[in-house]
Structure 1
Amino acid sequence: MPAKAASSAHQTHCPWEMATTPSTTSALTPKPKLPLVARYENIYNLPNILTFSRLLATPLIGYLIIHDQHLYAFALFAYAGFSDLLDGWIARKWHLQTVVGSVVDPMADKALMTTLVGCLAVNGALPLPLAALILGRDASLALAALYFRYASLPRPKTFARYWDFSLPSAEVHPTTVSKLNTFLQLLLIGTTMCVSLLHDAAATASAAGGLLLAVQELLGGPEGVARLVAGGQVVVAATTVWSGLEYAVKREAVKILGDDEALKKKQGVRGRMIIGTTFGSVAALALWLWVTQKGRKKEEEEEGGEDETAV
């Protein structure tokens, strides 16, 4: 057989040898994946500074309420509310939104509300069932936030990286009802603190105290203010339950960052189960407290009526 024909036959009967050519081998070899680079962002801006200042002022406000320094407590509370509006406006105006801000801002709001609700409940200014409902919803969201942070944090999952919020792993998107509930809670707390100012001699002696007394008369005196506060408490309780249920069922409330859609879906379901289980238990506890207090109050009224009849 001629050499050329033998070569042709060899190529025909040995096709596997073509797979050993350099160009074909490089095409079939999988390319190594590039390592994932963690994203960092600048967290040192004015909106975040205002948010952290509100967070630092929170324990001082609680201390002032417990020690009946209502005038100073209300002044700091007013600053906290103003800074909450200001930091959001600045962040939107100058495009300074950060993932850290999306996490710490609602955290500061909840820390403030938790402190105020707890201290006012201790002083008897807020009903215990309502305080349990508000604090229970916030606690369920906090537990879920801890889980979401750990589950969505890129590896390695170290303690230092867990608390390094310049490493974004999840974004919180408060629902419309949640924003309304936060506003109504702040309004109720502010009204309750104003009512407390009416029992503060130093506050009523000031010009602001005189204005509060005039507003109280316009609202029908102490009885009218009491009815207004009671109505606000009912509305806050309803929106608290509504917003808690939304966080338990709405997937858009928390956005987990990453590319593994199946894992993100599983993490979202687990987080919402944490919210639903804990908040449902707290709502049942708040209902039991309300029924118990209602029955106790009815018994006291009946005993008081029997004593008057006996006299």
Structure 2
Amino acid sequence: MITTTIFRQINRPGLCKGLTDLLRHGGVGPHGSALNRYAGAFKNSLLFDCYKLDVGTLRAYADLKKNSLALKTIQRKEIIQDVIEKNRYIFIERKNVLVKDIRDKKTLVKERVREKIEEVVERENIFTIPNYLTVGRAILSPYIGYVIVQGDMPLAIGLLVAAGVSDFLDGQIARKWPSQSSKFGSFIDPMADKLLIGSLVIAMGYCDLMPVWLAGTVLFRDVFLIGAGFVIRYISLPPPRTFTRYFDATHVTAQLEPTFISKVNTAVQLGTIGLSLGAPVWNYVDHSVLHGLWYLTGATTVAAALSYILNKNTYKILGKSK
């Protein structure tokens, strides 16, 4: 390859004259071993005799061409590296701009989602008279159970009557004055009733004023309904479902609709509990009517639980206010 290149170069017109001068000024490189292999070919060549070039001159010329080629290769590599480095810098700049744009849009989307959530989730005033009565009844419930365990039945009956009156009043006020009505009340009113009845049946079962099987049935049904209420709250609460938003009473997400049999069951339970409390006071502990009321209460309690399971209209998830 080197011999052929040299032959092509020295065959050009006028090249032989300036070739020696060029090599003298350019110097002879250290890589001349390639021409030694082709010295015989040069000695036998008519072109070699014509221009009277010796092997050392040809070797120097070949080394010069080789060095020139190596220099061009290095220059090309540097150009390619410069282009790669420049493109890399441009790529990094574009990547940073794209990442920043994505982060900005993500933040904007989160803000818009929060705004939409505030629009979807209804807020209402929970500080109403019916709600105060309901909360007071819920707070009073454990104390009534304590009074029963202490054996003060007249006081327990009086507190139970007061709790029943508060339950009647909060419903009447909410129906007659719409400004006092709240969807939050539809949740806490049945919860307060369950807490009251649960406190009473636990205390009465402990004092043998009510059969244990009836107390267990009533408790199981109430625990089931309370647990269902927490599940409905979780399902109806739009994301993000944080602890603070979950227990924020002003965020109303669902409304309960008690079934007819549930209302009947509540009345039967309160009547049975009242008569059972009065049994040791008026001496009719083993009366057959009282035993009949216990079985009736157990039957209506089971029927009420089934009505909540089978009826799909017992609660309504609230959407965006119109």
- Which interval holds the TM-score relative to the shorter structure? 0.5 to 0.7
1:153 pairs with one of 228, 237, 243:
237
After superposition, the C-alpha distances for 1:244-301 in whole angstroms (9 at most, x for unaligned) are: 1111111001112237xxxxxxxxxxxxxxxxxxxxxxxxxxxxxxxxxxxxxxxxxx
**Is the CA contact (8 Å cut-off) linking 2:123 and 2:252 kept in structure 1?**
yes
Give the 3-state SS of the residue equivalent to 2:228 in structure 1.
helix
3-state DSSP class of the match of 1:79? helix
Is residue 2:160 matched to residue 1:77?
yes
The alpha carbon displacement at 1:185 in A equals 0.1
Q: Does 1:136 align with 2:217?
A: no
The aligned counterpart of 1:49 is: 132
Amino acid at match of 1:233: W
Q: Aligned equivalents of 2:116 and 2:169: distance in 1?
A: 40
Which of the two has higher C-alpha Rg? 2
The reply to whether residue 68 of structure 1 matches residue 68 of structure 2 is no
Rounded Cα–Cα distance in structure 2 between residues aligned with 1:191 and 1:142: 26
Instruction: Give, in angstroms, the shift of residue 197 of structure 1.
Output: 2.4
Secondary structure at 2:209 match in 1 = coil
Following the alignment from structure 1 to structure 2, what is the Cα–Cα distance between the partners of residues 41 and 196?
46
Residue matched to 1:197: 281
- 2:194 matched residue in structure 1: 110
Match among 292, 296, 309 for residue 231 of structure 1: 292
Residue 302 of structure 2 corresponds to residue 250 of structure 1: no
- Determine the structure 1 residue equivalent to 2:171: 88
SS of 1:140's partner is helix
Q: C-alpha separation between the residues in 2 aligned to 1:40 and 1:197?
A: 48
Q: Match of 1:171, SS?
A: strand
CA–CA separation in structure 2 for the residues paired with 1:257 and 1:178: 22
Q: 1:127 Cα shift?
A: 0.6
Q: Distance in 1 between matches of 2:290 and 2:315?
A: 33
Whole-angstrom distance in 1 between the partners of 2:258 and 2:133: 20
Cα drift, residue 110 of structure 1:
0.5
- Of residues 179, 183, 188 in structure 2, which corresponds to 1:99? 183
Question: Is residue 246 of structure 2 the alignment partner of residue 171 of structure 1?
Answer: no
How is 1:242-281 mapped onto 2 (pairs within 5 angstroms)? 242-258=303-319
The residue aligned with 1:35 is 116
Q: Give the gaps of 5 or more residues in structure 2.
A: 1-111
TM-score (normalised: structure 2): 0.61
User: Which structure 1 residue ranges, 4+ long, deviate > 4 Å from structure 2?
Assistant: none
How many Å separate the matches in 2 of 1:107 and 1:141? Answer: 8
Please give the TM-score of this superposition, normalised by the length of structure 1.
Answer: 0.63
Where relative contact order (Cα < 8 A, 6+ residues apart) is larger, the structure is 1
Looking at structure 1, the residues matched to 258 and 280 of structure 2 have their Cα atoms a distance apart, in angstroms, of 31
Deviation at 1:35, TM superposition (A): 2.2
Alignment partners' CA distance in 2, 1:93 and 1:104: 19
Q: Distance in 1 between matches of 2:311 and 2:291?
A: 30
Q: Distance in 2 between matches of 1:109 and 1:35?
A: 35
Alpha-carbon separation, structure 2, partners of 1:162 and 1:35: 17
Structure 1 CA distance, aligned partners of 2:189 and 2:225? 14
How big is the shift at 1:198? 3.2
Whether the 8 Å CA contact 2:122–2:253 is kept in 1: the answer is no
What does the per-residue CA deviation read over 1:191-226, in whole Å, with 9 as the maximum and x for residues that have no partner?
Answer: 011113236xxxxxxxxxxxxxxxxxxxxxx38x61
Encode CA deviations 1:74-102: one digit per residue, 9 max, x unaligned: 11111000010011001111112111100
CA distance in 1, matches of 2:317, 2:187: 13
- The whole-number CA distance in structure 2 between the counterparts of 1:75 and 1:235 is 24
SS of 1:252's equivalent in the other structure is coil
| Distance across 2 between alignment mates of 1:128 and 1:111 | 18
Matched residues in 2 for 1:151 and 1:162: separation? 10
Provide the rounded CA distance (Å) in 2 between the counterparts of 1:50 and 1:197: 29
Q: In the alignment, what sits opposite 2:205?
A: 121
